Amino acid sequence: MTRFAAPISEAIWDMKYRFKTPEGAPIDLSVEDSWRRVARALAVVEKNPGAWEQRFYAALEDFRFLPAGRIMAGAGTGRSVTLFNCFVMGTIPDSMAGIFEMLKEAALTMQQGGGIGYDFSTIRPRGAAVHGVGADASGPLSFMDVWDSMCRTIMSAGSRRGAMMATMRCDHPDIAEFIDAKRDPARLRMFNLSVLVTDAFMAAVKEDGDWDLVFERRIFATVRARDLWNRIMRATYDYAEPGVIFIDRINQRNNLNYAETIAATNPCGEQPLPPYGACLLGSINLARLVRDPFGPDAALDEAALDELVAVAVRMMDNVVDASRFPLPQQAAEAQAKRRIGLGVTGLADALMMLDLRYGSEEAARLTGRWLQRIARAAYLASAHLAEEKGAFPLFDRDRFIASDMMERMDPDVREAVARHGIRNALVTSIAPTGTISLLAGNVSSGIEPVFAHSYTRKVLQPDGSRTEEEVVDYAVQQWRARMGDALFPDSFVTAQTLDPLEHVRMQAAAQEWVDSSISKTINCPADIPFEDFKDVYLAAWDQGCKGCTTYRPNAVTGSVLSVGEADPAQVEGGEALHHADKLDRPETLEGNTYKIKWPESEHAIYITINDIVLGGQRRPFEVFINSKNMEHFAWTVALTRMISAVFRRGGDVSFVVEEMKAVFDPRGGAWMEGRYIPSILAAIGGVIERHMIEIGFLDGEGMGAKSDPHLAGYGNGNRGPACPNCGQYAMRMIEGCMTCAECGHSKCA
């Protein structure tokens, strides 16, 4: 019998978490081998590793505890990778040497697979004087462009691209440029952006007061606070960024506010971290702990939850000692505070199994109770670890006990921490679990609602054809097994059917008992009025959230993946209407290189054309034109960039060939292979045309595309953007991160 509840789960394991040789030969022959590998690796640091290996294995078995992907993929492999998910880098000095030293550290961290966060508020604003060189500063946005370029060239461990978060304070003089940065669709693609919003700013917004933009105590400008807030809201309404981080609240409620100041977060926002801070993540699968799902005695097994949490805390604490770190500063920071981020997944499924509607007051109340139970069990487990192994080195009993979270803990927890200390400075966090949720049988992700009860996934077969399989939510699977074809109850809601304020209610209920933060996307309908949209953020502030991220489908961000019938508004004359989205580059591409020897030219021109497969059809994706003739350098570079930019927009790009073939050189063309070619550009256009014909993109010479490959393989309804890994139009926003429903690829994984 297979352990996997769905074919996609086994595919995810094989693609992302199965240990293989560099040549691709499996070392883990089953998922049990993967669990055993991880359990053994994390038990090595114990005095009795054999006994703890068995307990760790039992926690992992049947996907009850889900360590984050880097632990599943890297633990016990001997590879030089970090098991930590995310890092906030050091404070960026306001000097050229310091800035580029930070850039080097970022590259080294990404090389080992870490996502990073940076606060760019420390760089002087554009136009400020640079003393000693007689120049004006270019500002933090210009250096963010450098980081963005670096990130594009770094492949993270395990074929992961680096993910980055950039933050900027709401009082920085360049905050308006930061807010508007992503209005340029080609800029800062490797960054998530968030504004650090202070309590004083929120007070000024509510009072409609003035707001000073300041750098190093110098006031550069004064604006109306509500105008700046509206600018943030409008940008987020239009293209889903920047997010908002309530930074004073984060620092006030931090268990370590006596030892650190936080100004940045990891890429998805669930881990506010100090300079060189690092955190590892793991999730309790609540869906697997429900007894008698959909039955009269349906309930969460809270005793089993307590036991599982205690084992999970110990496993995660051991990761601190078992992991490598890209930089020594990160290792020192992790050892000094031993931060962990234990969270949950499958919350929405668990609520459905109890016939509770996600977003309701009763669901929020029960969510708070479950998260309180997890926090209590986790803090007790960490206190017992401190008794056995010692508290984290920076533990200060009086100041830690006075922290916001500890003041709300039960007396016995406070007494245990006061007596023994605590092993981990911060213990809980709710992270994105998109891929590991798929691994666990497509349980609902994190504390998100169910995205879709089911959807159709296209599976590429060895012969190049595609078959379709249904991907069903885990709770829906359980319903069908017990109830057959009975109609779903009213509790079976999805992310698109919820009111945005119901999302906020659930986030706030969970946040009360999470000492770090929460990665959560509040889905908003495309037609939500702007004033109502702003109310979502004010509700998040008023209800105690530490941040807020929304997603509203529109022409800039792309549609949310549809799982139902076509929207009649999208159909005209029986044909679906779509605009061409910019395609992201997959990790590897296939292509051909062609040689042109232009008569009377000393050097040949080489043209490389790489292709992408979308919807089962191959299409040109990028072009590289090279020549040793330096007279050709400028125009070949320009042509390379412009043609590649057009190709990556998708759609019928055959017009590029026609335009190039029509260019003539007033000095005369040349005869090549029995035909007259009016210019070198026309010759290049001819090569691209022949390539398009050979790959089946064009019907023939002088003809357009066979069909619109941009829509090939795409069914009814609104699609998501194209996935850079599998090419399917199935990207959707989950927990602040674009994730593919077809293959599980995640921008932030």
Residues 95 and 137 grouped into a single domain:
yes
Tokens linked to 383: 């206190």
* Residue 87 to residue 331: CA distance in whole angstroms: 11
What average pLDDT does this structure show over 673-692? 87
Domain count, the chain: 3
pLDDT in tens, 16-39: 999 999 889 999 999 999 999 999
Residues 27 and 92 grouped into a single domain:
no
pLDDT in tens, 421-432: 999 999 999 998
Last residue of a domain, one of 660, 675, 694: 694
Residues 3 and 128 grouped into a single domain:
no
Torsion of Cα atoms, 571 then 745 then 518 then 113, to 10°: -150
Is 195 contained in some domain?
yes
Residues 259 and 312 grouped into a single domain:
no
Q: How confident is the model at residue 545 (pLDDT cuts 50, 70, 90)?
A: very high
Last residue of a domain, one of 205, 230, 265: 265
Is 467 contained in some domain?
yes
- Across all residues in the chain, what is the average pLDDT? 87
Residues 223 and 323 grouped into a single domain:
no
pLDDT in tens, 686-729: 999 999 998 888 877 766 554 433 333 333 334 556 665 666 66
266-277 residues labelled b (16+ CB within 10 A) or e (exposed): bbbbbbbbbbbb
pLDDT in tens, 484-520: 989 999 999 999 899 999 999 999 999 999 999 999 9
Q: Which domain holds residue 325?
A: 1-84+280-498
CA 139 and chain centroid, separation: 27
- Residue 246 pairs in a beta bridge with 197
Higher pLDDT, 462 or 92: 92
**For the whole prediction, is pTM greater than 0.85?**
no
> Which residues does the annotation mark as catalytic?
266, 268, 270
Is 274 contained in some domain?
no
DSSP class per residue in 612-659: EEETTEEEEEEEEEEES-GGGHHHHHHHHHHHHHHHTT-S--THHHHH
Residues 180 and 100 grouped into a single domain:
yes
Helix or strand run (H / E) with residue 291: strand 290-291
Last residue of a domain, one of 472, 498, 524: 498
**What ranges make up the beta strands (E) of 293-395?**
299-300, 341-345
Decide: 741 and 457 in contact? Cβ < 8 Å. yes
A 10 A CB-CB count for 251 gives: 17
Residues 450 and 312 grouped into a single domain:
yes
- pLDDT score, position 85: 80
* Residue 438 to residue 418: CA distance in whole angstroms: 40
Q: How confident is the model at residue 657 (pLDDT cuts 50, 70, 90)?
A: confident
Q: How confident is the model at residue 668 (pLDDT cuts 50, 70, 90)?
A: confident
Whether residue 349 has pLDDT greater than 80: yes
Percent of the chain with pLDDT over 90: 62
* Residue 328 to residue 336: CA distance in whole angstroms: 12
Is 399 contained in some domain?
yes
* Residue 466 to residue 460: CA distance in whole angstroms: 5
Residues 112 and 244 grouped into a single domain:
yes
Is 312 contained in some domain?
yes
Helix, coil or strand: residue 428: strand
* Residue 8 to residue 363: CA distance in whole angstroms: 29
- pLDDT score, position 320: 96
Domain containing residue 397: CATH number: 3.20.70.20
Residues 8 and 119 grouped into a single domain:
no
Residues 250 and 325 grouped into a single domain:
no
Is 726 contained in some domain?
no
* Residue 373 to residue 286: CA distance in whole angstroms: 12
Is 548 contained in some domain?
no
Residues 125 and 182 grouped into a single domain:
yes
Is 543 contained in some domain?
no
Residues 215 and 296 grouped into a single domain:
no
